[in-house]
A and B are shown apart, each in its own frame.
Chain A
Amino acid sequence: MDLKNLFRPSTMAVIGVSTSQDNHPANVIYNKNHLRYPVKTFPVNPKGGILNREILYKSVGHIQEDIDMAVIAVRAEHVPKVVEQCIKKGVGGAVIISGGFSESGNFDLQKRVVDIAKEASFPFIGPNCLGIYAPDYVDTFFLPGERIIRPDKGNVGFVSQSGGVLVDQMVKFAGQGIGVSLAVSIGNKAHIRETDMLDWFDRDLATKVITFYIEGFEKKEGRKFIQKAEQCSKPVVVLKAGKSRKGIEAVSSHTASLAGDYRVFSEIMKQYCVAEADNEYELTSFCEALSCYPKGINANVGIISLSGGHGVIAADACELYGISIPAIDQETMDIIKGKLSPGIRDIVSLENPLDLTGSSVDSDIVATARYLSRDKNIDCVLALLIPYSPGVSTDIGAKLSQVARNEDKPMIAYVPNEDKYKIIIEGFELNNIPVASSVEGAVLMAKALKRCRPC
């Protein structure tokens, strides 16, 4: 199944545009793409007519040009007919926004649409979904452009069963400066499902991390998903909803009662090195960390802080998430001590977590990061930077990024997410070093690398 026409369309028909309702989903989609995206967009309404001085096509068949993709936003009962028209016209795929299918008990209607599409190898997303947000290409979310916060173009691919969760996550990504390559709300996932999306993202050069919000799989679909994830060359992150045990019938064996649906899901994700995030905040941290470092680590972190308190908070979080803080070689400590400014040599603590104190300057932090990275016991450096410390310059992000690159060991930074410190944050992020906005967030990023496959 070729999904290129769906995700990288040059031409698009929006079917179901209304002449009377400005806020009809089809109108919102038509307007935003027509005005703000490079995709050439054609409005369709069976009754014809005129909208904003544009002539409405009576059917997709009436459009002269080839159509890569159609957005279908007509009433559920008309969807089979419209899909047939799209197939006849040779459209490359569709996003079916319309609701009123399996989610409201209309299984037969949904099956009819799937049967028609499958017979013609016609891929479609949905129904009952928001569809596709492909930065620089197309946006079928029926939310007015001025109301939503969109992340920039980036390298995270996101697939969600829920449109609402997807939009929420977009806001969080944008806030953390995480960009997406493609975000898809698959709704009832009647035809294109998680496994198809995994195939697409695995081959997509713009995507480095593949993320899923999953409510549930069909019979044995989980096995298929995990087998694909195992073979996939990129880190896979999941957020699972529907974890509670309610509704599980009484079981008669120990095993059946111990292996509830969610525990099975979660343990199997671990078995195959799929990073399961516990909640949406973790998901955000995981995506940021894995988009910078696709390789796994054992999570033996060396922590550099400028205040004892930050080091202790980080150490507590490390213990909570199963991340170890190994002892540093005496030799490493001696070298670091020799490189520090004379003024702080006798007041620092070089045991892990290292406390360089508020009197340290850039060169102390850089030297510590360099030699800590070379310690064989450490496979990841957490740099907890408090930018209000007087000796820290605005160049510290860029300087530490150089160290991380030269030493080839993952570095994760913590800098408070304030406009004032943007220059430091960008110094890291533009050099592909992930920055967390809390100490715990930095530790969660290390957890993500631990959960990702070791290679």
Chain B
Amino acid sequence: MLKKNIKEIMEKSKLSGWVLEPDVKALMKLQGLDIPDFVLTNSFEEADRFFKKSGGPVVAKAVSKKILHKTEHDAVVTGIFSSGQLKIEMARLQKLEGCENILVEQMIKGIELIIGAKNDYQFGAVTVLGIGGTSVEIYNDTAIRMAPLKPGDVYSMVESLKAKEIVKGYRGRPGVNMEKLTHLMVGFSCLIMEMEDDIESVDLNPVICTKDRCVIADARIMLQRS
């Protein structure tokens, strides 16, 4: 079942060379990994119903094949607290180049991690863990392991980060739920093993972790250039 879905999504994305966020998240959900509640729509009414039902702030993103790095195109709006704000932002996002849909999601606050994967020439599928966000390359604080991961690998990856104290809980702030993080990373690494030959790399960035959940807030798959 999963294999069929992977194939379909990969085929569909071949032309652009990368897989859109909603499709990647669908794959992750099939693998049993946690993603935020969402609605994918162009209708403000539908988006507003979702916003009211979710009872908290939401995030709105433009889904466009033309926009690979959303932050650089102002294609992500976090912390939408009112219907009025949602309406204005949706209208703006819909005008961005190639915008097909608006992805409206519940907004989760927590520790932002990057979990990634790469098809390495010498070793095949490898997974990466680090502190997430848009400045990951600057801090370059990451751990890399060969996939598939064993639960012990996840603990040793956290332990090898310079920012490990942030992950474990720092200055009274709660740390990451290690059981959930382990579940996510082991499951993700197994999924990667199945897609290995099709992918160049995968970014789950950020994955937002709280003391109860580890949620994939944004995701992208770069396909192997043939």
Contacts and interface: CB of A to CB of B under 8 A. Distances in A.
Interface of A: 216-223, 226, 251-259, 261, 263-265, 267-268, 270-272
B144 A267 contact: yes
Contact of A258 (B140, B200, B202, B222): B140
Interface stretch (B38-46, B78-86, B110-118): B110-118
A259 to B, nearest CB: 5
A264 B120 contact: yes
B201 A271 contact: no
13 contacts: A220-B121, A221-B122, A222-B120, A251-B201, A252-B68, A253-B220, A254-B116, A255-B116, A255-B128, A255-B202, A261-B122, A263-B144, A271-B153
Count class of interface residues, chain B: 20 to 34
Contact of B130 (A253, A258, A272): A258
A216 B123 CA distance: 11
Interface of A is mostly: helix
Interface-centre pick from A253, A257, A264 (highest chain B CB count, 10 A): A253
B222 to A, nearest CB: 5
Contacts of B130: 258
Interface in B160-178: 160
B142 A265 contact: no
A255 B122 contact: no
Contacts of B203: 253-255
A118 B101 CA distance: 57
A267 B143 contact: yes
Contacts of B124: 220, 222-223
A268 B116 contact: no
A222 B220 CA distance: 26
A216 B121 CA distance: 10
Interface of B is mostly: strand
B180 interface: no
A253 B123 contact: no
B122 A253 contact: no
B21 to A, nearest CB: 13
Contact of B114 (A220, A226, A254, A256): A254
A221 B120 CA distance: 11
A261 B122 CA distance: 8
A219 B144 CA distance: 18
A223 B121 CA distance: 10
B200 A256 contact: yes
A287 B153 CA distance: 26
Contact of B122 (A217, A254, A256, A257): A217
Contact of B118 (A216, A217, A255, A272): A255
Nearest to B150: A271
Interface string B130-142: 1000001100101
B65 interface: no
Nearest to A256: B201
Interface in B173-221: 200-203, 205, 220
B93 interface: no
A253 B120 contact: no
A261 B91 CA distance: 43
Contacts of B68: 252
Contacts of A252: 18, 68, 222
Interface-centre pick from A254, A255, A270 (highest chain B CB count, 10 A): A255
Contacts of A216: 122
A222 B222 CA distance: 23
B198 to A, nearest CB: 14
A258 B126 contact: no
B145 interface: yes
A241 B122 CA distance: 14
B76 interface: no
B99 interface: no
Given A253-B203, A254-B116, A271-B153, A259 B122 contact: no
B128 A219 contact: no
A263 B143 CA distance: 9
Contacts of B18: 252
Interface-centre pick from A216, A217, A219, A254 (highest chain B CB count, 10 A): A254
Given A216-B122, A221-B122, A268-B123, A259 B144 contact: yes
A226 to B, nearest CB: 7
Nearest to A219: B121
A258 B120 contact: no
Given A223-B122, A254-B205, 17 more contacts: A216-B122, A218-B122, A220-B123, A222-B120, A251-B201, A253-B116, A253-B200, A253-B202, A255-B117, A255-B118, A256-B118, A258-B130, A259-B116, A264-B120, A264-B122, A264-B144, A265-B122
A296 to B, nearest CB: 14
Given A255-B114, A259-B126, A268 B121 contact: no
B146 interface: yes
A222 B200 CA distance: 17
Contacts of A220: 121-124
A325 B144 CA distance: 28
B131 to A, nearest CB: 11
A252 B123 CA distance: 20
